[in-house]
Amino acid sequence: MSTLAVAKKDFLDVRRAKIVWFVGALYVAFMALLVYFGQNGRPDPTVLNALWNLTAVGAMFIPLIALVTAYLAIAGERESGGIKYMLSIPNSRRDVVLGKFLTRTAIVSASIAVAFLIGGALTLAWYPSPEMDTFGIMTALTVLYALTYVAVAIGISAATASRSRAMGGSIAFFFITSVLNVFGPLQLAIDYLVNDLAGLDVSMYQIMFVQSLVSPTAAYVNSTGLAFPDGFRTIPPDLPWFLQGEAMVVVMIAWLVVPLALGIWQFERVDLG
């Protein structure tokens, strides 16, 4: 078997997981509701406000879709003993990790694409200026953001031997990089560490960059400058180059590649007994 063969078999298994489709359906529902309420009862509605609110919802909700879809991909097989059968076919350990990643990537991407397709259709029907270019950019950024958490979940799953450890690692990562980021303590903690404890004179923009390096969620939110006009809502018009949307896309790509590579490296060294 190969990476694609592993992905095909895994897809047949994971498509039966009702929780995966339930969480994806919730995101579709959020999309439809935000687009609806963005125009309901307003004389001159703009879909930009609905998409901005969706960014805030997605910053918390997209990681849940990705982590729920992927965190048991390999750890569940190891705990059940199925991983030994999979490797005896034979498959390389890298084939297993990459195959699982491809499957979970396809499922998460499809959920997000369906949500944006429905949102786009409703926008064309309800809004005088549908802003389809912004819709397209936000779709691409949101898919990339989701895949960073898929890669992290696959990496954690490959590095752990049980469901409980994979779940604990995924919850901890979500709490630190998403919850603490959205509600502010992550930025305050970085500021305290580099300026108060280390005695450095680090600007707020530099702290925001460090925040993006340690949180895919921060990188995603900062990348939305590619979709929205300068100065829209809380997007400053004069961000330094390292906080521009293009730089944030590079950071998210790194978040996609590095955890996956580390997961493969760890999985190849572990003794499966």
- Average model confidence (pLDDT) for the chain? 86
CA atoms of 130 and 137, how far apart (whole Å) = 13
- Let me know: does 88 contact 94? Beta carbons within 8 Å: no
17 φψ region: left (φ > 0), alpha (ψ -120 to 50), beta (else): beta
**DSSP for 35-94?**
HHHHHTT-SS--HHHHHHHHHHHHHHHHHHHHHHHHTTTTHHHHHHTHHHHHHTTT--HH
Q: Does residue 58 register a pLDDT over 80?
A: yes
CA atoms of 37 and 138, how far apart (whole Å) = 19
Q: Does residue 15 register a pLDDT over 70?
A: no
CA atoms of 106 and 32, how far apart (whole Å) = 22
pLDDT of residue 175: 93
Q: Does residue 154 register a pLDDT over 80?
A: yes
| Residues above pLDDT 70, as percent of the chain | 95
201 or 40, higher pLDDT: 201
pTM of the predicted model as reported, rounded to 2 decimal places:
0.91
Which residue from 165, 153, 142 is spatially nearest to 67, judged by alpha carbons?
A: 153
Q: Does residue 1 register a pLDDT over 60?
A: no
Q: Does residue 266 register a pLDDT over 70?
A: yes
Q: Does residue 173 register a pLDDT over 90?
A: yes
pLDDT of residue 235: 65
CA atoms of 64 and 146, how far apart (whole Å) = 9
Write out pLDDT tens, residues 71-94. 888 888 888 877 777 777 777 888
User: Of the ranges 79-88, 104-113, 118-127, which one carries the lowest mean pLDDT score?
Assistant: 79-88
Q: Does residue 156 register a pLDDT over 90?
A: yes
Which residue from 149, 150, 134 is spatially nearest to 224, judged by alpha carbons?
A: 134
Mean pLDDT for the stretch of residues 119-130: 87
Write out pLDDT tens, residues 197-234. 888 888 889 999 999 999 999 999 999 889 887 767 66
Which residue from 21, 24, 65, 26 is spatially nearest to 170, judged by alpha carbons?
A: 65
User: Of the ranges 11-15, 71-75, 101-105, 128-132, which one carries the lowest mean pLDDT score?
Assistant: 11-15
- Let me know: does 107 contact 20? Beta carbons within 8 Å: yes
Q: How far is CA 170 from CA 94, 103, 125, 195, in A?
A: 21, 18, 39, 29
What angle in degrees, to the nearest 10, is found between the helix axes of 132-159 and 245-269?
Answer: 20
